[in-house]
Chain A
Amino acid sequence: MLDFNTNHKALVLTAFIVFVVLSFGVAIFPANEMQKYQPLPEQEDLTEQEFKGLKIYNAEGCVACHTQQVRNIEMDQVWGKRPSVPEDYHFSKKRLDVWRQSASVLGSERTGPDLTDIGRRQPSESWHLLHLYNPRAVVKESIMPNFPWLFKEVDSNRVKASDVVVAVPDEFLDDKSKKVVATDEAIQLVAYLQSLQQAQMPENSEPEFIPFSKKNKKSNDQTTEASSGLDGEKLFTSTCATCHQSTGQGVPGAFPPLAGSEVVNNKDAKKMIRIILEGYDEMEGYAAMPGFAEQLSDAEIAAIMTYERSHWGNDAPEVTEDDVRKVREELENTKAQ
């Protein structure tokens, strides 16, 4: 007993057994428990298309820079409306195939934004495709790699009706006579990204965010009471600037400018409110805009619009929460009929 310094069998066997026992307690047992979580009621399984997209997400090593976990701390509030829970991963973390285990989508490094809720935050397929083709076409300062091998360059006269053409600004094209067409892989990857949306938790069971400090908690409570104090610029940057750019100039050939736009400068804000709520796809030469009715509150839309209408040389009157609410109700009524 305890003669490890002369008994090699005892030494190796003890090291082996203790390690296995500890490993069981700290890894295998809790891992097995974590598998038992069932999905949330509203959660949907990945479609075949989305699952293929997940495989591409894994193969391209997206997890190296993008996390998919909203931690239960205040600073992560920008990435989702609630902290992530084990149930969220029921469908997405399945074994990929015989050769591959489930993808480590939680990640360990946030070189790029968290993607837990990217499907809600950035619902536009056109944006995702252009962003994958060349991220700097939409976010000038981005350091994300471009993925040209997910796209084909096709002569403009050979584009088929079924092809998804990506609206790429000229300066990002090598050969301006050609059109950029998304491959199946690109479409699948975008389908997966669009599927990333936090599911609703059952009433009153949402975990809460831990505030950074007492002070912050108090001031947060105050801001929710006085909702008019919303920062339009901040909201614009986090919601709209990825397409329309922080300069308001948009991306030529992809996303229209807001600066000097007739719609934005119109004294009657009704059309602009409708576009934001419902989305819009009637402008020649530009990509479709998704609606933001579910994502943004009336007050938030009003704050964003007021910011947009008073910057980059734009000059139009303020928009109030009431204005937005009226339009929203009107739209809901017409839908109901």
Chain B
Amino acid sequence: MKGYKFRLLFIFFGLSSFILEAQNTKATENWETSPGIIGTIVLVFIVIFIAVIIFLAKINAFIDKMKRKNIEKKRIEFSDELTDLDDDEIDSILENRKKALKYKLKGDELGGKNKVVDKKGLVKRVRKDPSNSFFDQKKKTPLSIETPKELKEIVTYYLAAATFWLLFGTFIGEYLGLKFVWPELDSISWLSFGRLRPVHTNTVFWGWSSLAMIGLGYFVIARTSNNLIHSYKKAKIAWVLINLTVILGNIALMAGINNGGGEYREYIWPIMLLFAIGLIITFYNFYKTVATRKISEIYISNWFILAALIWTIVLSIIGYLPFYQDGLGETVIQGYYMHQGVGMWFMTFTLGLVYYYLPATLNKPIYSYSLGVLAFWTQMLFYTMIGTHHFVFSPLPWWLQTIAIVFSVGMFIPVIAGSTNFLMTMRGSWNHISKSYVLPFFLVGVIFYFVGSSQGSFQAFRFTNYVWHFTDFNVAHSHMTMYGIIAFLLWACIYTILPKLNGKEPPQLLVGAHFWLAFIGLFAYMISMMVGGTLKGMSWMDGEPFIESVIMMQPYWVWRAVGGSLMFLSHVVFAYNLYYMIKKEPQKKSKKVEKIKGESVNV
């Protein structure tokens, strides 16, 4: 064990040189894998990429020129119209303009010695001293945005269902974590590890994250298109279908009916078909709303959201069609499917949400629209190619593995573009961190977006794969991304929007409890699995008997269970916060009004 510590340090600090060394040894046999070749391919690709951009820009300029001719034509038509105007018409236009120019403010509209009267009842509560000096009260944002009642209802429905699945799914996860420490916690077939594990992953994927994303997406789509949702009824149908998928799918899994054990497509096709139909309905609904938008621009969020939906529909069809899935064909599709499930669905959709909710909560525009566009297209080009990096050193074709590794490196482009954009948007607003937990949730999510994704790219390298693949390190990575990125960003969006929709904000103390429990829990989870996973890989490389690595992992599994418990606890707090934000209390409201009246008399 002494040797381990030394080598662990070596790996963490000398990673790059180690990669080179490992690659050099097989320079002759596997020349394609040497960093020089891979680097060159990347460089060549960048050149081609830039060439394509230049080419497209040129074509664009040509087409713009054609369009400009059209505009010139319209301008001439307009001036003709002006010269045709009557004298009377011109007079009335000029008089109106004169009046407008003469108008002046008195100067005491916003202050002076006038008596303060709240004629419209805008002030709800006046406080002079915060009751809690540790948790600074957030400045209350102007609440109750004008939102149709039906849209509020849709958002609430989706988020409430999502939260239920979060509680259920992570409870199962917690239970599974405990089974690593006490394998004989129960001996019931429906609750055995092999059957419950997919219940955990599928529930948090299709239940929690997907429903929360779609719910938050409905608000973004309507708001940024300045439009009403195409059909509220369709939104409800999709809600039913997706929830039904998760319920039926989980029952089937626990009964031992699964599609073949490939991660995230364990639900058999008749059940997953319901989900696909739900997605198609949602896509249609979103698309129609955007198509009839009241402004000409399609906001960048909607790019991501629409694309995520269309890509995921294609993905689930390719993932389930049987024609190419015998033998290792299934394995190729499995790598493609499970990675795109994360990348094209959860990541793309959530990024779209952040492009709206982050600027919205900071009350300023996104730092760079163009960076968002760059992130969008590179996300599509690079993410699609990297699925096989889950099968490095497997019997899948070496060229497919190499493509996956190369494009994993390419993933740095959308990741850096996205995280830079978000961080630059936050710049200058850091004081929000002390005012509420919305920005901290965003910040943690964005930092994990950068760290988790980059780490994933590094993990794809052949050397790092050598140590980490098949170990618990994978579990750390998937929680760092699905939880650190997706869940944290979704929470940030939920805490941004629900108080504005319903006018009720949960106590900062409870939001803070949610934040810190989730964050510390995730950290304990992540670190224990990373360290344990690395030691496990080392043990295998040393050729120790397999059971040694199981014994060695015991303390790390205990720590993982501790972290998992904190995470689960945070979800209970979150569930209460959500309940607080969406519950209806018509009676209490009238009491408040009376109170305010009473106070005003005293003043």
**A residues in contact (CB < 8 Å) with B:** 1-2, 4-6, 8-9, 11-12, 15-16, 18-20, 22-23, 26-28, 30-35, 37, 58-65, 67, 69, 71-76, 78, 83-86, 88-90, 93-96, 99-111, 113, 135-136, 139, 141-149, 210-214, 217, 234, 237-238, 241
Contacts and interface: CB of A to CB of B under 8 A. Distances in A.
19 contacts: A4-B298, A8-B287, A15-B307, A18-B380, A22-B384, A32-B323, A32-B324, A60-B194, A94-B326, A99-B268, A101-B259, A101-B322, A107-B470, A136-B183, A141-B550, A145-B179, A146-B184, A148-B187, A213-B21
- Which of A2, A15, A62, A100 gathers most chain B CB within 10 Å? A15
Nearest to A29: B324
Given A19-B311, A86-B327, A30 B397 contact: yes
A28 B328 contact: no
A142 B183 contact: yes
Nearest to B263: A108
Interface string B312-335: 001100101011111111111110
A140 B249 CA distance: 35
Nearest to B60: A2
Interface in B429-479: 466, 469-472, 474-475
Nearest to B407: A26
B577 interface: no
B56 interface: yes
Contacts of B270: 99
Interface of B is mostly: helix
B336 A27 contact: yes
Interface string B349-372: 000000000000000000000000
B466 A145 contact: no
Given A102-B330, A238-B545, A15 B192 contact: no
Interface string B296-318: 11100001001100110011001
A53 to B, nearest CB: 14
Contacts of A148: 187
Contact of A19 (B63, B298, B314, B330): B314
B303 A95 contact: no
B322 A95 contact: yes
B314 A16 contact: yes
B540 interface: yes
A16 B310 contact: yes
Given A108-B470, A109-B474, A212-B541, 18 more contacts: A12-B307, A27-B318, A34-B332, A37-B327, A61-B198, A73-B466, A85-B395, A86-B328, A93-B328, A101-B262, A101-B322, A102-B260, A104-B261, A109-B470, A142-B550, A143-B183, A144-B183, A241-B545
A110 B198 CA distance: 16
A15 to B, nearest CB: 4
Given A60-B195, A61-B258, A86-B395, A93 B330 contact: yes
Closest 3 CB pairs of A and B: A61-B194, A110-B470, A71-B393
A172 to B, nearest CB: 10
Interface in B375-406: 380-381, 384-385, 387-388, 390-391, 393-397, 400, 403
B180 interface: yes
B94 interface: no
Nearest to B557: A143
B192 A145 contact: yes
A312 to B, nearest CB: 17
Interface of B: 21-22, 25-26, 29-30, 56, 59-60, 63, 179-180, 183-184, 187-189, 192-195, 197-198, 256-263, 268-270, 287, 290-291, 293, 296-298, 303, 306-307, 310-311, 314-315, 318, 320, 322-334, 336-337, 344, 373, 380-381, 384-385, 387-388, 390-391, 393-397, 400, 403, 466, 469-472, 474-475, 540-541, 543, 545-547, 550-551
B545 A234 contact: yes
A30 B332 CA distance: 7
Contacts of A212: 22, 466, 541
A78 B549 CA distance: 14
Given A1-B63, A32-B329, A210-B26, A23 B314 contact: yes
Contacts of B306: 8, 11-12, 15
Contacts of A108: 263, 390, 470, 474
A130 to B, nearest CB: 15
B268 A28 contact: no
A205 to B, nearest CB: 14
A141 B472 CA distance: 18
A6 B302 CA distance: 11
B193 A64 contact: yes
A19 B328 contact: no
B183 A100 contact: no
Contact of B260 (A86, A103, A213): A103
A212 B192 CA distance: 37
Contacts of A32: 323-324, 329
A23 B261 CA distance: 22
Given A26-B400, A73-B393, A113 B546 contact: yes
A8 to B, nearest CB: 5
A59 B194 CA distance: 8
B325 A31 contact: yes
B474 A103 contact: no
A73 B330 CA distance: 23
A82 B297 CA distance: 59
A86 B384 CA distance: 23
Contacts of B290: 8
A100 B268 contact: yes
A48 B112 CA distance: 93
B257 A59 contact: yes
Nearest to A26: B385
A23 B318 contact: yes
A99 B248 CA distance: 14
Nearest to A21: B384
A28 B387 CA distance: 12
A14 B308 CA distance: 13
Given A142-B550, A145-B193, A60 B298 contact: no
A103 B262 CA distance: 7
Contacts of A60: 192, 194-195, 256
Nearest to B551: A141
A76 B344 CA distance: 33
Contacts of A2: 56, 59-60, 63
B51 to A, nearest CB: 16
A210 B330 CA distance: 25
B79 to A, nearest CB: 26
Contacts of A11: 298, 303, 306-307
Contacts of B192: 60-61, 145, 147
